[in-house]
Structure 1
Amino acid sequence: MEWQLEPILTRFQTLVQSLLASLPNVALALTLFLAFWLASGVARRSVQTLAQRAGQPAGIGLVFGRLVSWALLTLGVLVALTVIFPTLTAASLFGALGVSGVAIGFAFKDIFQNLLAGLLILITRPFRIGDQIVSGEHEGTVEDIQVRATLLRTYDNRQVVIPNSELYTNRVIVNTAYDRRRLAVTVGIGYGDDIAQAKRVILDTLAGVEEIRRDPAPTVLVRELADFSVNLEVRYWIDPPIRREVVESQDRVLEALKPALITAGIDLPLPTQQVLFHDQTEETDGDRTRQREGWPARADNPRPRAALTRHPETP
């Protein structure tokens, strides 16, 4: 069987000729796309400048600038394709996009959902870049609000990428929404201590801590009669309400309260437990043959230890 090289050469020659003929169109398409690319950069910076002049947060300028840039780049790609392929008209191109729009919508449903949530976050502004928030198990500082997700920097210097739809639909605690924040620490005193005296000592001690605001004034409340202590809740306000100030103020408050309470003779009790053996109960506690409590009910149960050690003359 002989190979026919002439048809192959003819087709290759035709391909080369068509490629050479399309080089001007390719060059024009690249030039147009470069122009759209430069225009997208200028438009992005212009939107950011306008948002800044309008007093909008930096995140709004960033996101809307990116959207305008992407729209111009997409338009540049479409124009370049119509130049390279003259048979591809704008009507047919947008018709194809319309037919495939449903499939694209289902495929990129999460992306569009996060995009819309990001825009709503930037417009409604429940939090801004630089705020310290708590979302689920994550807490940190908002570093950037992007089109798809929000970047959160945790206090141990890790980055958490949270989808915008999750932040918009779930609960978010904004710790820096206001200029001041109330904190509370718990102090346990003994049952034999004077509660009023302990409150006075605590309030006098807090008056010497510089980070605490004088208005509103600190307060001390009895919160619980616990197993081994009377728990007092010490409430006070600080500003600014950032995480570092929270931790440092709690450290200074507890460090100042401990020696002050001890000097005033107020006990800071530790957990205590009392262990009673089974034969340490009193005879008046009931019928010992019916006391189960992990022990078998017997008729020959030993007498209580207290009764065994009682003096014979004692009735």
Structure 2
Amino acid sequence: MSKLSDIFSDLYSKFSDQLPAILIALVIIIIGFLIARGLKNLILKKIKPRLTNTLSADFIAQVTSIIIRAIVIIIALNLMGFKNFTSQILAGAGILTFVLGFAFKDIGENFLAGIILAFKSPFRLKDLIESGNVLGYVQELNLRETLVKTPDGKDVFIPNGQILKNPLINYTIDGFLRYEFIIGLDYNSNIAEGIKIISDSIFEISDVLNTKNKKTAVLIEELTASTINFKILFWIDTFKSTSRTYHNNIRSAVIDKVVQNLMQKGFYLPSTIIEVKKYKL
């Protein structure tokens, strides 16, 4: 019993000796973490509005906060008497990095890819992108993955390494997107008049662009069994809205206007003709 009492007495004595250092370390951790949070918020408020790509500011803020917190923890451990421990951590960082490089290859790859994407990103916040089989709007760039929200409301976390290694389609980065559809006219139709009606109908929709480099086109696509098929191509401004629903509504409005005007002018839009023969047995 006396031995147990001596052990507790010794522990209490050591704790009492280390108590001031522990309290100072806790204060440093609290202050350090508050500084990290404040600096992160400062970067987001001051630097983010000045950058073209706000994702870079988000990434820098995250990395800065993590580095400051790591430094604060190492300082606190030193004050608490773990100097040898922290020295061993720093000395073994090279070996640890080498070992972890094999153990967590994908995590390291995604982290490095995140740094590259933060400073040379092929997309911005709210851009509509497609990577692999995922189509959606960029919501956030983190250290490991990029958050994308699909048009049907699903949140997809794409590893940064996958985005960097695979082809990526950005539908909205330059502000222009081309849509197209096919419409078929009867062989007895006046082709030239039909093309004019289609072109005029498209321009009745105000959201369709008509500039020097973004012109509407009405082309004969193919000759089928019952129709002459036309491919209609037109451009919209994605800076007004990156919403896929907004784009599809414009496309629907154009198709509806073209069909209405053609039918009002007496054009026949035939369906596929199926010939059925009846044989006597």
Q: Which has the larger radius of gyration?
A: 1
Q: Equivalent residue of 1:88, what SS?
A: helix
**1:219–1:235 contact (8 Å) kept in structure 2:** yes
2:228 is aligned, of 214, 227, 230, to 230
CA RMSD in angstroms comes to 2.3
Q: What residue is the counterpart of 2:37 in the other structure?
A: 41
Matched letter for residue 18 of structure 1: K
Q: Runs in 1 of length 4+ with deviation above 4 angstroms?
A: none
The answer (yes or no) to whether the contact 2:127–2:173 under 8 Å persists in 1 is: yes
Contact 1:213 1:238 (C-alpha < 8 Å) held by counterparts: yes
The separation in 2 between residues aligned to 1:188 and 1:56, in whole angstroms, is: 44
Please report how far the alpha carbon of residue 220 of structure 1 lies from its aligned counterpart in structure 2 after TM superposition. Answer: 0.7
Q: Does 1:273 align with 2:274?
A: yes
Match of 2:54 among 28, 40, 58: 58
Aligned residue type for 1:213 = L
State the match for 2:116 in structure 1: 120
Partner residue of 1:290?
none
Counterpart position of 2:140: 144
**1:230 positional shift:** 1.8
User: Contact between 2:40 and 2:64, CA under 8 Å: does it hold in 1?
Assistant: yes
Distance 1:193 1:232 in 2: 12
The 8 Å contact of residues 51 and 57 in structure 1, kept in 2 or not, is answered as: no
CA contact (8 A) 1:220 1:235 kept: yes
Matches within 5 A, 1:61-210: 61-86=57-82, 88=84, 90-210=86-206
SS for the counterpart of 2:84 is coil
Match of 2:217 in 1: 219
The aligned amino acid for 2:4 is I
CA deviation after TM superposition for structure 1 residue 23, in Å: 1.8
Partner of 1:295: none
Q: Which residue of 2 aligns with 1:32?
A: 28
Aligned length: 276
| Amino acid paired to 2:92 | A
Residue 222 of structure 1 aligns with an amino acid whose one-letter code is I
Q: Which letter does structure 2 place at the counterpart of 1:229?
A: T
Which SS does the other structure have where 2:253 is aligned?
helix
Equivalent in the alignment of 2:237: 239
2:57 aligned partner, one-letter code:
G
Match of 1:174, as an amino acid? N
Note the residue ranges of structure 2 that are not aligned, 5 or more in a row: none
Please, which runs of 5 or more residues in structure 1 have no aligned partner?
Answer: 281-301, 303-315
CA contact 1:213–1:239 (8 Å) conserved in 2: yes
Q: Give me the whole-angstrom Cα distance separating, in 1, the residues matched to 2:248 and 2:87.
A: 63
Moved more, 106-115 or 146-155: 106-115
Partner of 1:13: 9
Structure 1 pair 238–89 and aligned structure 2 pair: CA distance change class (3 A): closer
1:229 shift after superposition: 2.0
Instruction: State the AA in 2 paired with 1:119.
Output: I
Give the partner amino acid of 2:235: W
Aligned-residue offset at 1:53: 6.8
Distance 1:118 1:20 in 2: 46
Change (3 A) 1:227 1:164: farther
For residue 100 of structure 1, give the secondary structure of its aligned residue in structure 2. Answer: helix
SS at match of 2:2: helix
Q: Deviations over 1:154-182 (max 9, x none)?
A: 22222111111111111111111122222
**CA positional deviation for 1:107:** 3.0
Answer 1 or 2: higher relative contact order, Cα 8 Å, separation at least 6.
2
Deviation of 1:221 after TM superposition, in Å, equals 0.4
CA distance in 2, matches of 1:100, 1:140: 37
